[in-house]
Amino acid sequence: MKIHFLGRSLDGDGHVSRNNSSGHLEAIRSCVETAELSIPFEVVNVVGGPVKKIRARWSLRSVGRRLAERMESELGTSGPHVLLHTVLSGWDLRLIEHLGSIWNAFDHRVVNVIENIRPDHPVAPVLSRYDFMTCFCDDLRMKLEATIRRPSLHWPSHTNVLAFASLQPRRPVDILQVGRRDRARFDRLDAHCRTATAGRPFLLDFTTRPNPAFPDSGPVELERLMGAYARSKVAVCETAETTPRFEGRSPLTTRWVHGWAAGCTVVGTRPTGSGVAELIDWPESTLEWPDDPEMEIPFLESLLADEQGLRRRRHRNVAEALRRFDTRHRFASLLDALGIAKPDPLQAALDRLEVEARLAERQIMGSPA
């Protein structure tokens, strides 16, 4: 069995999603043979006028031919061979028009939608060329499935939890803010952390691209990001539904998964989309903001002062992340849907995830492991 991992390059410049994709690849690679098939970022991230789009179309042809040759060489081993194509936009989908007959050589062709592809997009019908679809957002998945009439799975956000789970108690960062935020709330919090007297909380505003002028590979940047989470007591996570590209949808995004895996107490506004409630149904998975904005600072300060509460949530969140959000769980569900037996290394990893989860739980209140 072999997974052919097709997607935007994990090296150099590119969309920050490549950081998360690198974690997915490493988790899958740990339990099954893989082939990484990289698409240059500039070919599929087309922003600009018609000239740039024309050039991108020509580039897609040559990239498609190159990848088809690579695929042919990777198909020599025994199967089944599963093509897993991660897509963020219509330009990612356009690539498969240039793969030629090699497209039919795979036993299964799976498209993994990790961004908000519109069902009415001109190239959306290309999705019907795949045998199966996975999607990060269940509401979007149902719309796309109705359009393309292909079986699909809800693949809620996930990461390589086995690699990044952290129960370390030393957490010098009090509050971690990554990416999307309620601007008014963040400004209030930032002002307090900058101007309060001695003992004020330490707020870290971390970007997923630490230095955009000198980008590193996806795996390196993901390590930096998860290192920041693992050193933080509280992680702030805000629902995506107010972001225009989500069109009112409210899926579980990866910020929550990263925070739970790293043992943070997660504070924010819970996502409310389809299929989310059962994913986050353990006590204190997300602590909601007070209704009164004036109470937000006292609320956070009380959390930071409660060492026992921070420890309790740290262990419970790590345990739940191991059980629910490791990439290996998503991969196993895909193999089940495709009727492919789980390889022994994958089953061993799933068993280990449960063992590690139990160990985390047994240490919640200081019990011996």
Residue that the structure tokens 């935020």 belong to: 181
- The pLDDT score that the predictor gives to residue 365 is 58
Which pLDDT tens digit goes with each residue over 26-43?
A: 999 999 999 999 998 888
- CATH 3.40.50.11930 domain position(s) in the chain: 2-154
Summarize the confidence of residues 96-100 as an average pLDDT: 93
Q: Measured on CA atoms in the order 70, 85, 110, 92, is the torsion positive or negative?
A: negative
pLDDT at site 223: 95
Q: Where in the chain is the domain with CATH 3.40.50.2000?
A: 161-323
Higher pLDDT, 126 or 318: 318
pLDDT at 367 over 60: no
Task: With a cut of 90, say whether residue 58 has pLDDT above it.
Answer: no
Which CATH number is 2-154 given?
3.40.50.11930
Spatial distance between the Cα atoms of 320 and 186, rounded to a whole number of angstroms: 28
Residue 368 pLDDT exceeds 60: no
Nearest-angstrom CA–CA distance, 74 and 203: 47
* Amino acid 369: pLDDT: 37
| Residue 205 DSSP label | E
Q: Which of 179-188, 228-237, 258-267 has the lowest mean pLDDT?
A: 179-188
pLDDT of residue 46: 64
Higher pLDDT, 277 or 200: 277
How high does pLDDT run on average in the chain?
92
Per cent of the chain over pLDDT 90 is 77
Is pLDDT above 50 for 329? yes
Residue 233 has pLDDT above 70, yes or no: yes
Question: What CATH number labels 161-323?
Answer: 3.40.50.2000
Q: Is the CB of residue 30 less than 8 Å from the CB of residue 60?
A: no
